[in-house]
Structure 1
Amino acid sequence: MMRLFLGCFLFLSFFKGFSQEAAFSIDTLNVKIDSLYREDQFYAGLNYNSIVKKPEGLSQEKISFGFTAGFLRDFPLNKSRTFAVAPGIGLSFNNYIQNMSIVGTNNNPIYSIIPSTVNHDKNRFEQLRVELPIELRWRNSTPESFQFFRIYGGFKVSYLLYDKSVYDDGNEKIVIKNNKDFEELLYGVYLSMGYSAFNLQVYYGLNSFFKSTAQIDSISITMNTLSVGVVFYIL
């Protein structure tokens, strides 16, 4: 009986000690700080599109908006991980409401400035693009904090997936898709800055929407964009 009692006591003591050791290991893992963290892997933004370097007589009507979303891979460059570079991929949709009509066909589009005396119900063009951004990043983040200041400068190239223009004067509605005069590749620079979830972003397009074949009165159409909006970064 004494041997049985002693054996049970030793077994329970060993089991209790093992359990305490296991519990300690789990707690230790729970409070471990990730010193190899990455920031801001996903992004989504809303922006207002303004047309710059526009043809004479062109003006914007109502609000031209855009939306963008995608993924960026964060690669820290220093030990404290406050500097990083981040290449990525995403999608953007933008529309432009203005007074330059596009009629004809996708292979033979005709462009003209709509006189102020002519009433029309709709006149816009819109584009869906896949974009490839790359950012140089600074932030004062730490492994323990998710709220910090950031300044991200970037460059991106976008490729045209889909385009559509609509002109409706109340009597006739003309819809053109896959316009041959739209540039497939656009590129530009941008700057994002903010604190925590709220960030402002400004983008400037370095080349025109249109190829040199797009003309009004034998003058090539130059039309770049300046976009201002908000962007949200998510881990």
Structure 2
Amino acid sequence: MRHILVGILAICFSLVSLNAQTVDNDSQGSDSDYLEDQFYLGVTYNFLLSKPETVTQRNLSYGLQAGIIKDIPLNSKRTTALGVGLGLALNSYYTNMLVSEVSDGFLYSVLDDNADFKRNKIETHLIEMPFEFRWRNSTPEEYKFWRVYAGIKLAYVAGARSKYVSDTEKISFYNTNIEKFQYGATFSFGYNTFNIHIHYALNSLFNNSAELNGENINYKPLRVGFIFYIL
């Protein structure tokens, strides 16, 4: 987590000049050159869809995200805009599906209901690029307003690990069966500080090399939680 936070700070400092972007006033000059929601922080619970019936989620499958967005107003009142950003994310998925490292790759199996283990997860670290169409009823003087943002998010998996922990052993290794390029639909809405955030993956978490009982593993994450926007 420390490395994630350092990366977030590095991105924020390197892109902070984006906040200086201005847009021409309308012909009457009635609007200020203000921008909204330049930074974001989010936390989600991660559901896994399209999983076999024998696979169940356990513990707290969570997600963390943070980044910076360039706000590009589309009208003179600045109530509609485009958002293009760059950020980092950490996502964990806790299940009873065990991943074992073998000589020719990875072996996937389902742990027995009586198996005694503490944690069994897959963790991904991503570089993300969100694209949003934004609507809000903000004004130059009003900092509390309604917002509805919808769009897509592209992501590159910089690293992924499988980890198993029991009372007697701890196994952790890089899992290269995770799909490197991921994308999904996003939707955020709310008022002032608290905003609901939904991300639905449009492709599988795993690539075609990952199989469970001879069938491809087609997990599609659904992330639901809160996102906080900051000027």
- Alignment-derived partner of residue 131 in structure 1: 128
- Alignment-derived partner of residue 76 in structure 1: 73
User: Any conservation in 2 of the 1:103–1:176 contact (CA below 8 Å)?
Assistant: no
For residue 85 of structure 2, the aligned residue among 76, 88, 95 is 88
Q: Which has the larger radius of gyration?
A: 1
- Alignment-derived partner of residue 9 in structure 1: none
Please, what is the CA RMSD of the aligned residues? 1.7
Matched, 1:211 2:228: no
1:115 CA displacement: 1.4
Q: Tell me how far apart the structure 1 counterparts of residues 158 and 95 of structure 2 sit (CA, whole Å).
A: 22
1:157 CA displacement: 0.6
- Alignment-derived partner of residue 141 in structure 2: 144
What letter matches 2:229 in structure 1?
Y
Residues 225 and 48 from structure 1, CA distance in 2 versus in 1: closer, same or farther, beyond 3 angstroms? Answer: same
In structure 2, the gaps of 5 or more residues are: 1-29
Q: Tell me how far apart the structure 1 counterparts of residues 36 and 197 of structure 2 sit (CA, whole Å).
A: 17
Q: Tell me how far apart the structure 1 counterparts of residues 185 and 179 of structure 2 sit (CA, whole Å).
A: 17
- Alignment-derived partner of residue 229 in structure 1: 225
User: Any conservation in 1 of the 2:160–2:176 contact (CA below 8 Å)?
Assistant: no
What letter matches 1:204 in structure 2?
Y
- Alignment-derived partner of residue 185 in structure 2: 189
* Shift >6 Å, 4+ stretches: none
- TM-score w.r.t. length of structure 2: 0.84
Q: Tell me how far apart the structure 1 counterparts of residues 75 and 56 of structure 2 sit (CA, whole Å).
A: 47
- Report SS of the residue matched to 2:35: coil
Matched, 1:164 2:165: no
In structure 1, the gaps of 5 or more residues are: 1-32
- TM-score w.r.t. length of structure 1: 0.83
Give the helix-richer structure, 1 or 2.
Answer: 1
Alignment coverage as a number of residue pairs = 203
Q: Tell me how far apart the structure 2 counterparts of residues 173 and 166 of structure 1 sit (CA, whole Å).
A: 8
- Report SS of the residue matched to 1:142: coil
- Alignment-derived partner of residue 119 in structure 1: 116
User: Any conservation in 2 of the 1:107–1:180 contact (CA below 8 Å)?
Assistant: no
What letter matches 1:78 in structure 2?
N
Query: Percent identity of the aligned residues?
Result: 41
For residue 104 of structure 1, the aligned residue among 92, 101, 105 is 101
1:142-178 Cα distance to aligned partner (Å, 9 max, x none): 011111000000200110112111113433322111x
Residues 193 and 106 from structure 1, CA distance in 2 versus in 1: closer, same or farther, beyond 3 angstroms? Answer: farther
User: Any conservation in 1 of the 2:31–2:77 contact (CA below 8 Å)?
Assistant: no
